[in-house]
Structure 1
Amino acid sequence: MRRRKFILAVGGAAFAVPLAVRAQQRDELRRIGVIVQVAQDDPEAQASVAAFKAAMQELGWRNDHNLQIDLRGAAGDPERMQALARELIALKPDVILARSTPVTAALLRQTRTIPVVFTVVSDPVGERFVESLARPGGNATGFTNVESSLTGKWLELLKEVAPSVKRVAFIFNPKLAPGGGSYYTRLIEASAPSFAIKPTVLPVSGADDIEHAIDE
């Protein structure tokens, strides 16, 4: 029961939602693995982890006291995500916090027993991380970062800002984007005619490819 409450605390802290009932301080050391998609020293990652630690402390879990957080950053490298997943799983943490779709996928390919709490995942059902949003099942649960119906809203807002826009490029990395990019591209392509916009899909493998893709 205590382990379940701890996992729920991790989920609440990951979403930065204050809970009415705070966990009591415990002497037993708990271990959390954290993998972020960006580099470990990325400013956004550092800010997110700092907020996570602060939220956990509010719940009674203090880093280096009754909690150990093992942070890893993949720097956008899918192969490194797999290696970091193996590394953290070997440490046998109580729970792993995964930030992004590819990081979550890397973890769930290697463990179906250690609880995984994910954030910044667009389509957890389509990626088969969970059985459904209402009943996740398995060892994974978490939070989505966007609702699919909002994709059409992006084009609507773009038209409001720049009414003369006729062509829109959608740039993504197939190795990192949900569904290899199809989660968003199919929705954008379906919505585009309503706004008299011609969408162009531009898959890239890294930052160096972006300028070349746009020039074409």
Structure 2
Amino acid sequence: MRRREFITLLGGAAAWPLPARAQRPDQLRRVGVLMGLAEDDPDSKARLGAFRQGLEKLGWSEGRNIHLEVRFALPADEQRAQMLAKELLAVSPDVVVAQTTALTAAFRRESRNVPIVFIAVGDPIGAGFIANLARPGSNLTGLTLYDGSVAGKWLEMLKEIDPRVTRAAFIINPKTSSFPLLARETETMAQSLAIELTLSTIENAGDIARVIESFASLPNGGLAFPPNATTTANRDLVVALAARYRLPAVYAWREFVTAGGLLSYGTNFVELFRQAAPYVDRILRGSLPAELPVQTPTRYEMVLNLKTAKALDLNVPAGLLAAVDEVIE
């Protein structure tokens, strides 16, 4: 159940510069979209629906003045992502949209000229996409997934929902561009909470299973899963292992909680896609990506699976329950 709306992201459209060159909105324009989910994933439909709704509100109607070329690739499948990026650029789009760092990088390797709007990139500066948030200075702009401080919040929530936790495994692929930033923030919070932190690096499903099994051999443990392509591609495995070893776990995305995970704290992807529409609109009307400020979330949504909490014999604190945006029962 929803308890508050996802608030407007920082640096809204009002701060954007005027179009650099005039464009006729009634001309048929092509937009390439590379999704970071499988085509049959229900979340793909919801996110694309929000993107289309955002465009329609700005005067863009499919079949009349805009055509969307949509492809689907899991971020961990680099070969497929690169192939589809080439395929989308081959249709001469006016702008392309990429979800996640890996898919944005695939477009970036292919073109330094076609405007690229990214969605849910963790650290666009660290990834080399832009010069700074206020003035990207390249053919890329868009919306980030989080700021670094959110990493500490995952540990804080883990301790709040299960005060018995004195050990935590922070499980992430070290190739994730924001890994250094997230690791620093997590280590700082772990010290303040008197939690023994283990930075567990993984690159495949076998690594995930080995790390969790080993960590579960000692008591009072909990898991934190920051955003990365490896755990996303193995979402069901991650959730199943946490349940098998009865480990409380906090995730960055609600999709893990809808799959049976305990608790998530992160950005609402549907809203991110809706917020991407004004970027595409401004670019199609003549603005340069280099001059459109990158937006960073200032508020995140919290999702709790109450059934999973009960299965772990957890008494959810009243304060935490009151702060939750959505409860899955």
**Contact in 2 for aligned 1:37/1:99 (Cα 8 Å):** yes
TM-score, normalised relative to structure 1: 0.82
How far 1:173 moved relative to its partner? 3.2
User: What do the CA deviations read for 1:43-77 (whole angstroms, capped 9, x no partner)?
Assistant: 11211001111111111111122111011111231
State the distance in 2 between where 1:209 and 1:110 align: 31
- For the residue of structure 2 that corresponds to 1:119, the secondary structure is strand
Question: 1:178 deviation in Å?
Answer: 2.8
What does residue 64 of structure 2 align with? 65
With over 3 angstroms needed to count, the CA separation of the structure-2 counterparts of 1:56 and 1:136, relative to structure 1, is same
Please give the residue correspondences for 1:195-206 in structure 2 after superposition, counting only pairs within 5 Å.
195-206=193-204
In structure 1, the residue matched to 2:40 is 41
- How much has 1:200 moved relative to structure 2? 1.7
Deviation at 1:88, TM superposition (A): 1.0
- Deviation digits for residues 152-173 of structure 1 (CA, Å, limit 9, x no counterpart): 1222222221122111112223
Tell me the matched-pair count. 195
The DSSP-based 3-state class of the residue aligned with 1:178 is: coil
One-letter code aligned to 1:183: L
8 Å contact kept, 2:156–2:189: no
Shift, 1:135, TM fit: 0.7
Distance 1:209 1:64, change over 3 A: farther
Of 162, 179, 188, the match for 1:190: 188
Q: Contact conserved, 1:94 with 1:115, CA < 8 A, in 2?
A: yes
**C-alpha deviation, 1:202, in angstroms:** 2.4
Taking a change above 3 Å as real, the CA distance of residues 67 and 134 of structure 1, as seen in their structure-2 partners, is: same
Match for residue 211 of structure 1? 209
Whichever residue aligns with residue 212 of structure 1, its letter is R
Distance in 1 (CA, whole Å) between partners of 2:50 and 2:97 is 13
SS at match of 1:109: helix
Name the SS of the counterpart of 1:60 in structure 2.
Answer: coil
| Whole-angstrom CA distance in 2 between matches of 1:44 and 1:207 | 22
C-alpha RMSD over aligned residues: 2.3
The answer to whether structure 1 residue 162 and structure 2 residue 162 are counterparts is yes
Q: Where do 4+ consecutive residues of structure 1 move more than 3 Å?
A: 24-27, 206-209
For 1:27, the equivalent position in structure 2 comes to 26
- TM-aligned CA distance change 1:182 to 1:208, over 3 Å: same
How many angstroms does 1:138 deviate by?
Answer: 0.8
1:95-140 deviations in Å (ceiling 9; x for gaps): 0111111111111121110000111111111111110001111100
2 CA distance for matches of 1:89 and 1:123?
24
Distance in 2 separating the partners of 1:29 and 1:84: 22
Query: Which residue identity lines up with residue 173 of structure 1 in the other structure?
Result: N
Determine helix, strand or coil for the equivalent of 1:147. coil
Deviations 1:171-203 (A, max 9, x none): 22345x334x33322321232111111222223
The answer as to whether partners of 1:40 and 1:75 remain within 8 angstroms in 2 is no
For 1:1-216, list aligned pairs within 5 A.
26-76=25-75, 77-175=77-175, 177-179=176-178, 181-207=179-205, 209-216=207-214
Mean CA deviation greater in 145-154 or 122-131: 145-154
Percent identical: 43
- Measured after TM superposition, the shift of residue 18 of structure 1 is 9.2
Q: Is the 8 A contact 1:151 1:184 kept in 2?
A: yes
Q: Which runs of 5+ in 2 are unaligned?
A: 1-9, 15-22, 215-329
CA distance in 2: counterparts of 1:134 and 1:96, whole angstroms: 21
- Letter of the structure 2 residue corresponding to residue 195 of structure 1: L
CA-CA distance at 1:211 after TM superposition:
2.4
Per-residue deviation, 1:204: 2.6
Tell whether the 8 Å contact from 1:123 to 1:178 is kept in structure 2 after alignment.
Answer: yes
Q: CA deviation at 1:208?
A: 5.0
Change (3 A) 1:147 1:95: same
Any conservation in 2 of the 1:30–1:67 contact (CA below 8 Å)? Answer: yes
**2:86 partner amino acid:** R
Q: Matches of 1:80 and 1:198 in 2, distance apart?
A: 39
Partner of 1:4: none
Letter in 1 for 2:212: I
